[in-house]
Structure 1
Amino acid sequence: MPNISQEYMFMTLTPSAWWRTAAIYQIYVRSFADGSGDGIGDLAGLRRRLPHLRDLGVDALWLTPWYVSPMADAGYDVADYRDIDPVFGTLAEAEELIAEVHAHGLRIIVDLVPNHCSDQHPWFREALAVRSARDRFWFMEGRGEHGESPPNDWQSYFGGPAWTRVADGEWYLHMFAPEQPDLNWENPEVREEFEEILRFWLDRGVDGFRVDVAHGLVKKDGLPDVGSDPDISDLPYQDCDGVHEIYRSWRRVSDAYEGERVFVGEVWLPTPAQFARYLRPGELHSAFNFEFLCGAWEAGPVREVIDATLTTHAAVGAPPTWVLSNHDTIRHVTRYGRAETAFDMGDKRHGAPSDPELGVRRARAAALLTLALPGGVYVYQGDELGLTEVEDIPEHLLQDPTWERSNHTDRGRDGCRVPLPWSGDQPPFGFSPPDAQAEPWLPQPLAWKALTAEAQAADPRSMLSLYRAALAMRRDVLARLPQTLTWLAVAPGVVAFTRGDFACVVNFTGEPVPLPAHSEVLLASVPVVDALLPSDACAWLRR
């Protein structure tokens, strides 16, 4: 571990760039707010709830895919990248939303899905009909005497083989669901098409793109087998060198536009060195910090991942980002209430006992820790309400393709995607209008009546009130501080650091601990009495 006095500095050429320190709120569109009454979140519902986001104190919004899609994977199977799916609204409504977001003083980032499209995309439908049109995808002859076996041993991230055979005998690659054929980025048409897609949305005023599966676009030459004992740092379907030229070309597109238009990468890779390459000057602006999200709620691991994150980003002059949950992971209130608090994408602990009171207590502390760190931060919708993972969704209502692809052994990600509770004592808790003709697309727990935004707004001790206070202080106080971090010498089981005259202290132990010398407690996740920080708590101090 670095010396106590070690200091990290990552601000380099453009310290005023908004994205370097922004608090960005992730909106899972189909679960945020329903304006039409069909039980599915949409742009009309989102537009009505913009005041909530403005008052929360975030700087920007990230919207999950809103494009035309058959919804085999909740919109991550895109059939038309230049239009809005009717379930969400219209292109005109999207343009109005962008203008309204800007009018509220916020920015907007939209999801881009470049690794694969939908099997209903015109390109893929043409490829099925005409063999000569297949170069935009990965079509290959199969193995075996009659081509009856897949071309290689790759497995889908959703379970099962990554290949599906078509009527004329060839196989196509899909690293996710069969309805999501992988695009072949060796084809110039694919590259040109996505540059035009970028321009289409930049022309309409979006402030950036979150890039889905950013590490996966390019495949290794020849698509070789993975083998029985693969090197996870050298897999043939991720982190191939050619992917970096794609992002350099995208930057040439976005940098031609006025303002700070940004790319945020979803980059899941096993080593910091691999991760850092995506953040070099002229490539992606930032990427999600999954190591922090997945870490256990323990002092040692938390400090180690903060150290590693700051070191990795400093090496390439990029700002770190911090996130506790997203639409693919177990909500951290539930995770932090378990005996084992770490998370990985193969988590099979569905239904493991979780202490809700402990989970909320730790989630409050984790929120303050996260918001105190230098760099940017992401808040997943519902984090600010302290929502739990919904683990009792009836099996017949599960929609995540992982459920079927795993032969009903993995319930998938629906538990963190349940529609938000806004008001009232009964479902749909204001998610849909009073005259709605349909129930929410996933059922909401009755216990959520105590967690609605309306109920929490009136309670100064609520999670929502804590987030509002922390985000306001982050913008008004922390934004003026040096983007540096210096560790303080503290007792075992405690993590503490300073940024100028500001200090953040987290007590991971089971007993109260004395706070370091300070002149004022600015904010705390639980009440502080006699300068003692209770267990599983965080305090912000003025020194």
Structure 2
Amino acid sequence: MMKKKWWQKAVVYQVYPRSFQDSNGDGIGDLAGVLQRLPYIKKLGVDVIWLNPVYKSPDKDNGYDISDYRDIQPKFGNMEIFDKLLHEAHRLGLKIVMDLVVNHTSDQHKWFQESRKSVTNPYRDFYIWRDGRNGKAPNNWGSYFGGSTWDYDEATKQYYLHLFAKGQPDLNWENPTVREEIWKLMRFWLDKGIDGFRMDVINFISKPAGLPDAPNPKNAEYADVEPMVADGAKVNDYLREMNEQVLSKYDVMSVGEMPSSKPEDAVQYSGLEAGELNMVFQFDHVTLALNDDPRLGKWDDKPIQLVDLKRALSRWQQALDGKGWNSLYWNNHDRARAVSRFGNDSPEFRERSAKMLAATLHMMQGTPYIYQGEELGMTNAHFTDLQQYRDIESLEAYHQLVEKEKLTDHDSMMRYLATESRDNARTPMQWDDSQNAGFTEGTPWLELNKNYHELNAQRELEDKDSVFYFYQELINMRHKSDLIVYGDYCELDPADNEVFAYKRHYEGKTLLVISNFTAKDVTRSYDGEVQKKLLLSNYEDDLKTRLRPYEVKVYSY
């Protein structure tokens, strides 16, 4: 029998502090704003808050470039307000999980400032420095944000590695002193009383020996680096050491962001007996519409095929059952809004499809994550001007793909950004229909979605049939049902490109979930005349075999 853990039954609410609630009128969300909105989060019914990075940072990548792991970004507040937030969250029965960003630091971190002083500095080996090759970078790796992964340092005549922005140099995990410093900073936060970590690109920490060139079949200027750095040879060793030295000493939750990882990798990372992490964030279902031209990477606006989505989700459900634990998510701070990407964000179908997506995901095995505003059915921003974007990834992609390499044109790239840009998830939280949606009394750091007058928390809290209360009901159901939490998973009709149906089984009970992913009526029948009890639907009545647009039905028997 599986040993049951508190985080298996929990539901997580992700807060991107910069866009959640501003308390001082500077246009940037902050910790005092999160504190102010704790009653709202508690009302939703979740168990855990995952905070995106709030550490001191020069903000070249919105806080994912950390200059001091033991201090708070002044824009967000200070340690006193953090401690108050942690205390009040615990008083309300809410746990707090912090982002752990240790594949890289900021170039303003004292370690890197020392490291770049000389080749003999004690901190030199905290990072990955190499000589150039024939007057160029050490290899052909391409950065996630465009250009090379290498930046030349004039003072010491070497290059340093940065998989992301130039201001985010990669740490050298081969150095045991680096690992011990990371264990120390983890203990610092855990001893404060936080309840776990979400670990940013944690499967990138083991780089291949010799840092060889990456395959480059399309002869692009820079090759895709991910196959070279994902799931490296020593990742499991490092994570086991992390667990032995730190995580095992506390009753906390750990989830690793793992781009490119496959289910068999996840069993190694998050297996119930693996001694590493509790669960991973996998990317299969959110990277289905990658462009046919690999040089364009994720930038595309093709609609997602349901059969592909089902295959991706079902693969993980089946592979981890009884062996590991799934994380369940549609979107986050790095992904477009779920209802725009997987559902239908038109006024006619937005609410129905948002509820349908919610039930489809929350009835699966794993720990569900709700990204701020998802519980309202918030949509993509549909920006039309490049000047509206703030995301470094989006702006660098435009510069690289349109202006420099001319791989696509302006109009196409604007469509791709409107579909996939991270800024779609980062527009400020829509609290009410007042100026700036109640987010700030100043000028918001990122333009608001123009639909906040009709789509906001105040309006949904006043409507008992809203998306918010549907999420509340889903969370309540999960808390009460071992079948929903622990049941195994069986997909029905994998080739059906209109309806996603699956069963869950646990201790003689069955759950049947049927979701229509289209804007039309369809007819489906499962299990014939078996007497089924309707537990949940996003319509007021049950027309049995008929499924209306974006209808979801959950039965038990």
Please report the TM-score for the alignment, with normalisation by the length of structure 1: 0.87
Q: Does 1:217 align with 2:205?
A: yes
Task: Find the counterpart in structure 2 of residue 113 from structure 1.
Answer: 101
Q: Does 1:319 align with 2:325?
A: yes
SS class of match (1:71)? coil
The residue correspondences of 1:85-484 to structure 2 (distance < 5 A) are 85-133=73-121, 134-144=124-134, 148-168=135-155, 169-229=157-217, 235-258=227-250, 260-269=251-260, 271-280=262-271, 281-294=274-287, 300-314=307-321, 317-336=323-342, 355=346, 357-392=348-383, 394-408=385-399, 409=402, 411=417, 412-423=421-432, 425-432=433-440, 436=441, 438-477=442-481, 482-484=486-488
Number of matched pairs: 506
Q: How far apart in 1 are the matches of 2:492 and 2:397?
A: 46
Change (3 A) 1:290 1:363: farther
Question: Is the 1:368–1:525 contact (alpha carbons within 8 Å) kept by the matching residues of 2?
Answer: no
Question: Is the 1:528–1:534 contact (alpha carbons within 8 Å) kept by the matching residues of 2?
Answer: no
Percent of pairs identical after alignment?
A: 34
Task: Find the counterpart in structure 1 of residue 407 from structure 2.
Answer: none
Question: Is the 2:263–2:320 contact (alpha carbons within 8 Å) kept by the matching residues of 1?
Answer: no
Change (3 A) 1:256 1:447: closer
Change (3 A) 1:150 1:232: closer
**1:254 CA displacement:** 3.4
* AA at the equivalent of 1:502: L
Q: How far apart in 2 are the matches of 1:304 and 1:232?
A: 25
- Post-superposition Cα deviations, 1:176-205, rounded to whole Å, max 9, x if no partner, equal 000001111111221010000110001011
Q: Which runs of 5+ in 2 are unaligned?
A: 289-302, 403-412
Change (3 A) 1:395 1:135: same
Task: Find the counterpart in structure 2 of residue 14 from structure 1.
Answer: 3
**1:154 CA displacement:** 0.6
Moved more, 49-58 or 303-312: 303-312
Q: Over aligned residues, Cα RMSD in angstroms?
A: 2.5
Q: How far apart in 2 are the matches of 1:24 and 1:40?
A: 23
SS class of match (1:215)? helix
Please report the TM-score for the alignment, with normalisation by the length of structure 2: 0.85
Question: Is the 1:67–1:80 contact (alpha carbons within 8 Å) kept by the matching residues of 2?
Answer: yes
SS class of match (2:143)? coil
Task: Find the counterpart in structure 2 of residue 496 from structure 1.
Answer: 502
Question: Is the 1:399–1:414 contact (alpha carbons within 8 Å) kept by the matching residues of 2?
Answer: yes
Q: How far apart in 1 are the matches of 2:52 and 2:369?
A: 14
Q: How far apart in 1 are the matches of 2:392 and 2:349?
A: 32
* AA at the equivalent of 1:151: P
- Post-superposition Cα deviations, 1:396-440, rounded to whole Å, max 9, x if no partner, equal 3432112442343465421210110112x23311112xxx3x211
Change (3 A) 1:466 1:124: same
* AA at the equivalent of 1:525: N
**1:113 CA displacement:** 0.5
Question: Which of residues 498, 511, 527 is equivalent to 2:521?
Answer: 511
Question: Is the 2:13–2:370 contact (alpha carbons within 8 Å) kept by the matching residues of 1?
Answer: yes
**1:481 CA displacement:** 6.4
Question: Is the 1:320–1:376 contact (alpha carbons within 8 Å) kept by the matching residues of 2?
Answer: yes
Question: Which of residues 501, 525, 540 is equivalent to 2:538?
Answer: 525
SS class of match (1:312)? helix
Change (3 A) 1:202 1:384: same
- Post-superposition Cα deviations, 1:245-267, rounded to whole Å, max 9, x if no partner, equal 11111111334534x21220100
SS class of match (2:453)? helix
* AA at the equivalent of 1:257: K
Q: How far apart in 1 are the matches of 2:390 and 2:329?
A: 25
Question: Is the 1:21–1:319 contact (alpha carbons within 8 Å) kept by the matching residues of 2?
Answer: no
Q: How far apart in 2 are the matches of 1:35 and 1:366?
A: 32
* AA at the equivalent of 2:147: G
**1:393 CA displacement:** 6.5
Change (3 A) 1:93 1:479: farther
Task: Find the counterpart in structure 2 of residue 6 from structure 1.
Answer: none
Question: Is the 2:522–2:548 contact (alpha carbons within 8 Å) kept by the matching residues of 1?
Answer: yes
* AA at the equivalent of 2:393: T
Change (3 A) 1:120 1:539: same
